[in-house]
Chains A and B, each alone.
Chain A
Amino acid sequence: MEVSQEQARDLLKDLDQVARDASAKVAHGIVGPFLIIWGAVWVVCFTMEYFSPRYAGWAWLVGNILGWVGTLYWTWVGIGRGPVQSVASRALTWRLFAFVLAVLVYAFLWLAILKPVPGVRIGVFFVTLWMFAFVVMGLWMEMRFMVVLGLAITLAAAAGYFGPFVPLRYIDLWLAMTGGMGLLGSGIYLVYRWR
């Protein structure tokens, strides 16, 4: 069997591409639906904050319940019916779930101690907190997409809150557009790109 240096180089390149795409397809296929779930929750709830602040509390309660039910369901589906099954991947999925839960419980407890905190700040705080979790998970799983998305939405939220171009009364709409639509759009893109 004769293989030239040129052919061997092309083979290595092709193998590398197959391997990278396989890992990305698995990871992004799992992450995509989570982004869609929480993107939709954020779009609806932050929009409610702006147009109907009286009912926003209820919207967040229902949105968070639906979000967590969806998250648990998709975690369970990913573990039981995902394309790659192994003890290590099941353990990683549960570890990621536990990490996100731990970050949120920590934040809720901390806010409960520090309250009262104006609603606007809570919104910006939770958006940036989620994105912090995204960046950590992206680094953990070597998913550049999540790191970039987390940093981009964090910057957008911070720019809206601190910057001069978004009046504070529009901050919830700003978060719905940047955070909510950012997650939703990214999730839809990932699902279609890697299906």
Chain B
Amino acid sequence: MAVLNELIHQPVRLRIMAALASLEGEGGDTEVDFTFLRDHLKLTDGNLGAHLMKLESAGYITVRKTFVKRKPRTFVKLSRPGQHAFQDHVDAIRHIVGVEYPNRSSRW
């Protein structure tokens, strides 16, 4: 039985993981722009950055900094362990509600 993940359960980090997981495509190579996440989740740069650092140090996401047309851009990617950890966490929440999804591979 899946158990709740304390690191992911924090409300802001849970929303970050949900947004990243929802945008993850078939290839598992999806990168999401930092400013998109910040605006979508209505966070400040500092707040989002701090939570991303925690997720990154746990190995749940990877952060890539690059330049596009000489402007710095940061991309965030959900890692494979991050996908599994988030899916486990959602499964655990569903278990509490009493809704079980037997098809483990289905999108949460």
Contact = CB atoms under 8 A, between A and B. Distances in A.
Query: Nearest 4 A-B pairs (CB), nearest first?
Result: A19-B22, A83-B36, A88-B25, A8-B96
B96 A5 contact: yes
Contacts of A23: 22-23
B6 A1 contact: yes
Contacts of B35: 83
Kindly name the residue among A3, A11, A25 whose own CB sees the greatest number of chain B CB atoms within 10 A.
A11
Contact of A5 (B4, B32, B68, B97): B97
Given A25-B40, A84-B32, 10 more contacts: A4-B96, A5-B98, A12-B97, A15-B18, A19-B21, A22-B23, A23-B22, A83-B33, A84-B36, A86-B27
B50 to A, nearest CB: 19
Contact of A88 (B26, B32, B41): B26
Kindly name the residue among A4, A20, A23, A84 whose own CB sees the greatest number of chain B CB atoms within 10 A.
A84
Contacts of A87: 25, 27, 29
Nearest to A12: B93
Interface of A: 1, 3-5, 8-9, 11-12, 14-15, 18-23, 25-26, 80-89
A158 B40 CA distance: 39
Interface in B55-80: 68-69, 75
27 contacts: A3-B93, A4-B96, A5-B96, A8-B96, A11-B14, A12-B93, A12-B99, A15-B90, A15-B108, A18-B18, A19-B19, A19-B21, A21-B40, A22-B23, A23-B23, A82-B33, A83-B33, A83-B36, A84-B31, A84-B32, A84-B36, A85-B30, A85-B33, A86-B29, A88-B25, A89-B25, A89-B30
Interface of B: 4, 6, 9, 14-15, 18-19, 21-23, 25-27, 29-33, 35-36, 40-41, 68-69, 75, 90, 93-94, 96-99, 108
Contacts of B75: 85
A26 B96 contact: no
B33 A84 contact: yes
A29 to B, nearest CB: 9
Given A3-B4, A11-B93, A80-B68, A86 B30 contact: yes
Contacts of B94: 8, 12
A82 B25 CA distance: 15
Contacts of A89: 25, 30
A3 B96 contact: yes
Contacts of B4: 1, 3
Nearest to A14: B15
Nearest to A23: B22
Kindly name the residue among A1, A12, A18, A88 whose own CB sees the greatest number of chain B CB atoms within 10 A.
A18
